[in-house]
Structure 1
Amino acid sequence: MTLETKEALENLTRSFETFKCANDERLAEIEAKGQADILTEEKLTRMNKELDKLQAKANSMQAAANRPGLATKEGQDAAALERKRQFFDGFIRKGHDVKLDQKALSTDVNTDGGFAVPVELDQMIEKRLRDLSPIRAEANVVAIGTAKYKKLVNVGGITSGWISETGARVETSTPTLQEITPPLGEIYANPAATQTMLDDASFTVDKWLSEELAEEFSYQENGAFVNGSGVNRPKGFLQYVVSTLSDNSRTFGEIQALKTGVAGGWAATDPSDILVDMIHAMKSGYRGEAKFYMNTSLLSEIRKFKDSSGDYLWRPGLEGGAPATLLGYPVVEVADMPVKGASSLSLGFANMKRAYTVTDRMGTKILRDPYSNKPYVHFYTTKRVGGAVTNDQAIKLLQFAV
């Protein structure tokens, strides 16, 4: 752990202790006067924002420490090194493309133009996307080489049991299979740099390009994995039909939603009980890697929750790279989760590795355009991404409804 990371974690610890004192003060005011002083509420709001910043900073520093750079020469063959050199020094910096293998822009139509990026750049983009896209970082990510990915799910179960070595075998039933095909769509980004920047030898073009592309791709991905319609884009997990029925009682493909009992709000007494119910609504086999998913405004409310012993349910992540936890389960902040409102599905509890599958069509493609917006050189880049819920039992949602 670096000195900077250690200092960031110490600041987070101090900030959380101060937050607890301020919230205890707020609760005492409510008990004594029926409501908290407005100055106390404002102070707590500021502290909540500060906690968000400090936790994000600690997580960011740890992610940066773990982030690999572009692959070095060690272990690479001469052809791979030459392709990288041609791509970055020739194609990206100068527009020389005669020695690159030309690829079609579309997998369906053999249209001229566009070059497949080197695998090293693809890997840099993918790893950076994991830092920026909270759902991608947690989901099951599958690289595919065809236009569609199909997953068969056994929804009926099969007959099985114990038997002696010579005992008669009962014929097993045929499993009931459902086919899931995550909807696939194409996302694009169009970062730009001046030719002067590209000609500068000190300008690390590989780092710049991977970060620019990942930033744009993640913005589109984040929204799609949560709320995507499934038409020419991934289907977000909030776009599925929800049901109050438990596992094995719902229609396949529906997601169980527990209700708070209050439209747009929490229960007046013991509001955190519903969070415990969410946890235990999930089968124990999925709980081990499950996490809570919510936006920062909802998190700021939940930070104030206590159990019957007066202990806070939310705890900051104080070990290097450790996430904050709620009831012992990690918390993932997802900006695209909806704000709390009447009937909103604003909180999820999921083992996302089992619940949601992201498909990446292999081969990011790029077009260099120095003409459309002089003096800027644009790099029109496309990537095909899909996504869908592939196990509805590994995700539970909280609905703020009666």
Structure 2
Amino acid sequence: MDMTPENTPLEQSFDLIARQDEADKAITELRGDMDEVKTRLDRVSRAAARPALGRDNPASPEVKGFVDGYLRRGSEKEIKSLSGATPQDGGYAVPREIDAMIARELIEISPIRQLAQVVQVGSAGYRKLVSTGGTASGWVSETAARPETDTPEFAEIAPPTGELYANPAASQAMLDDAAFDIESWLASEIAMEFARAEGAAFIKGNGTHQPLGFLSSPVSLAGDAVRPFKTLQYIGSGDSEGFDTNPEAKLIDLVHTMKAGHRQGASWVMNSSTLSTVRKLKTADGAFLWQPGLIEGQPDRLLGYPVIEAEDMPDIAANAFPIAFGNFKAGYLIAERSATTILRDPFTNKPFVHFYATRRVGGQVLDSAAIKLLKIEA
């Protein structure tokens, strides 16, 4: 028989405390390990998100020669020795790494560029044939004769283009500072100016030495079946000064004027002033039409579709088109010559050095059935 006496209540309490201490110690060690893993993951994430031209990454000889030779000191020898380049159209084509930085920032800043179809071209002009109908289809048996199809009809898309330019400036003292990240600064400044100019042109450009904005395209109340090619359909708001007493009905009508295939991937486009009004709209039972994004990174939604703010859209006013709804990937085409050229100008505004950057950009409506407009009218 086991004659070992049982632990007293006091001893049992000490054992429980000891076990609790061991458990707390294990939890503390586990948390420390988790914090270490998280720190390593954060370090890896920051390294992955760091721009390719950061100081921690060695630049290519082309970039180093362009930045240290041409941008900082104005020497053209490094550029010519690397690529045999000569000034084209009043400047040197920037290295691809810097051009990629400009392109990334443009996409983040320019609202319509985020949505539209963008094609890179090697020359100033771009042409594309699109079918406007006529190619028939049908069903037949395996051995039956195939009836002759209708003759296809095509239309040419040739986006009007223009020279987009920016002219940021820095002092020579800034350029002489080795710690000054000139390539990131220059890419950011150029992208900001390009985005401001092209954002307006893609919406309301007149097509003369600049893109033809979708609000500058012809408009009609007619449906897709009878409306001329390149003409956008619009519906009225129901009130000559704004929205009528049933605003959700007009917005729902606008959504469903578009074919179901185009509604997949469609977005609303309006400026912040219009958005302020839309956010206050309610249905007949008092519910807001607006649906805020509940997850970080997810856009706010109106009737289930994301809303994009574009400050160049007009305000709500008589005969204005303050709201667009469309699948801009299918509806609007941006054609650009990928190379950005830069001309260093240290003479015009001493002691500042200007960097005159240019890029050819064009744009116009590609498929008028993919973009719909709301007009303020009775």
TM-score after normalising by structure 1: 0.78
Q: Secondary structure at the match of 1:128?
A: helix
Q: In the alignment, what sits opposite 1:306?
A: 282
Look up the match of 1:235. 212
Provide the rounded CA distance (Å) in 1 between the counterparts of 2:276 and 2:377.
20
CA distance in 2, matches of 1:401, 1:71: 51
> Does residue 86 of the first structure (1) align with residue 65 of the second (2)?
yes
Secondary structure in structure 1 of the residue aligned to 2:189: helix
Q: Matches of 1:330 and 1:67 in 2, distance apart? A: 26
Contact 2:69 2:78 (8 Å CA) reproduced: no
Aligned 8 A contact 2:160 2:210 in 1: yes
Q: Deviations over 1:83-142 (max 9, x none)?
A: 011011111111121131434443xxxxxx511000111111111011111001110010
The corresponding residue for 1:215 is 192
CA contact (8 A) 1:102 1:114 kept: no
The Cα of 1:372 is off from its aligned counterpart by: 1.6
Using the alignment, how far apart are the partners of 1:202 and 1:388 within structure 2? Answer: 42
Distance 2:348 2:131 in 1: 52
1:360 and 2:336 are equivalent in the alignment: yes
Please state how far the C-alpha of 1:248 moved relative to its aligned partner: 1.6
Checking the alignment, whether the CA contact within 8 Å between 1:298 and 1:340 is kept in structure 2 is: yes
Q: Percent identity?
A: 46
The superposition leaves residues 281-306 of structure 1 with CA deviations (integer Å, 9 ceiling, x where unpaired) of: 00000001000111111111111122
Deviation at 1:352, TM superposition (A): 0.6
Residue in 2 aligned with 1:102?
Answer: 85
State whether residues 264 and 341 of structure 1, in contact with CA within 8 Å, keep that contact through their aligned partners in structure 2: yes
Contact 1:185–1:232 (Cα < 8 Å) also in 2: yes
TM-fit CA distance, 1:146: 1.5
User: Residues 163 and 210 of structure 2 are in contact (CA less than 8 Å); yes or no, is this contact kept in structure 1?
Assistant: yes
2:286 counterpart letter in structure 1? G
| Structure of higher CA gyration radius | 2
Cα distance change of structure 1 residues 191 and 72 upon mapping to structure 2, 3 Å threshold: closer
Distance 1:70 1:374 in 2: 32
What is the RMSD computed on CA atoms of the aligned residues? 2.1
Give CA deviations for 1:255-299 in whole Å, capped at 9, x if unaligned. Answer: 0000112212111x2122100001110000000100011111111
Aligned mates of 2:131, 2:359 — CA distance in 1: 31
Measured in 1, the distance between the counterparts of 2:109 and 2:47 equals 15
Which residue of structure 2 lines up, in the alignment, with residue 176 of structure 1? Answer: 153
Cα shift at 1:396? 0.2
SS of the aligned residue for 1:167 comes to: coil
8 A contact 1:121–1:210 mirrored in 2: yes
Task: Give the letter for the 1:91 counterpart.
Answer: Y
Unaligned 5+ runs, structure 1: 1-63, 107-112
Distance in 2 between the 1:221 and 1:354 partners?
A: 19
Distance in 2, Cα, partners of 1:354 & 1:139:
7
Contact 1:154-1:177 at 8 Å conserved across structures: yes
d(CA) in 1 for partners of 2:102, 2:50: 11
Pick closer, same or farther for the CA change 1:307–1:366 going to 2, 3 Å. Answer: same
C-alpha distance after superposition, 1:191-224 (max 9, x if no partner): 1111111111111111100000011111110110
5+ unaligned residues in a row in structure 2: which ranges?
1-45
Distance 1:67 1:361, change over 3 A: farther
Aligned AA (2:172): Q
Give the TM-score of the pair, scaled to structure 2: 0.83
SS state at 1:170 partner: coil
Contact 2:66-2:78 at 8 Å conserved across structures: no
The amino acid across from 1:179 in the alignment is: E
More displaced 10-residue stretch of structure 1: 92-101 or 188-197: 92-101
Hey, what does 1:115 align to over in structure 2?
92
Q: Determine the structure 2 residue equivalent to 1:150.
A: 127
5 Å-filtered alignment, 1:3-402, equals 69-70=51-52, 81-100=60-79, 101-106=84-89, 113-267=90-244, 269-402=245-378
Please state how far the C-alpha of 1:72 moved relative to its aligned partner: 7.3
1:309 Cα deviation from its structure 2 partner: 4.1
The one-letter code matched in structure 2 to 1:211 is: S
Separation in 1 of the partners of 2:177 and 2:257?
57
Amino acid at match of 2:261: G
Confirm or deny: 8 A CA contact 1:264 1:344 kept in the other structure. no
How many residues are aligned here?
A: 329
CA shift in 2, pair 1:297/1:73, >3 Å: closer
Q: Is the 8 A contact 2:70 2:78 kept in 1?
A: no
Contact 2:159 2:333 in 1 (8 A): yes
| Secondary structure in 1 matching 2:173 | helix
Relative to structure 1, is the Cα distance of residues 230 and 68 closer, same or farther in structure 2, using a 3 angstrom cutoff? Answer: farther
